[in-house]
Amino acid sequence: MWELKIFERAEEMKIFRNAILCCLLALCPFAVLGCGKKADEDKPISEVKTEAEKMDTNGLRAMATVYKDAMVSKKGEVEKLTAKLKEIPVTEMLGDEAKALKADIGNLNKSLSALKERFEVYYQKLKDKGGDLSGLQV
């Protein structure tokens, strides 16, 4: 009877250990790869150029894609805000809501311009190295 309980606990421990190992193995790629690259519109252009010089075509394409996706997202936000602005009657265009929307659109356009400038660095370097440019046109 005593031996049976030890065996049951040993089996439970093995199952528990295997479950923990499976979870850790499933999470390892995230730890190794990180959360992925993000488009950084505040990164100095000189730093972006230096970074791009050291990259191979796969890295350049990946970064260009990250920036392209960020630009597409910002463009969508600009379009939404522009649509809201168009809904405001002409008599209220000088009101607070319209001013806030215009300011937001201006900030998004500024951000979009910064993203595009950095995208162009990666895109041009990829083009210079003869990499695949398909799907990167903005």
Residues 40 and 26 placed together within one structural domain of the fold: no
Higher pLDDT, 60 or 22: 60
pLDDT of 69-107, one tens digit each? 999 999 999 999 999 999 989 888 888 998 999 999 999
Residues 24 and 41 placed together within one structural domain of the fold: no
22 confidence band (pLDDT: 50, 70, 90): very low
Instruction: List all residues 6 or more positions away from 82 whose beta carbon is below 8 Å from its beta carbon.
Output: 105
Residues 84 and 19 placed together within one structural domain of the fold: no
5 confidence band (pLDDT: 50, 70, 90): low
Domain count, the chain: 2
Residues 23 and 55 placed together within one structural domain of the fold: no
d(CA 132, CA 1): 69
Residues 60 and 14 placed together within one structural domain of the fold: no
Q: What's the whole-model pTM score? A: 0.70
Residues 11 and 73 placed together within one structural domain of the fold: no
Residues 23 and 90 placed together within one structural domain of the fold: no
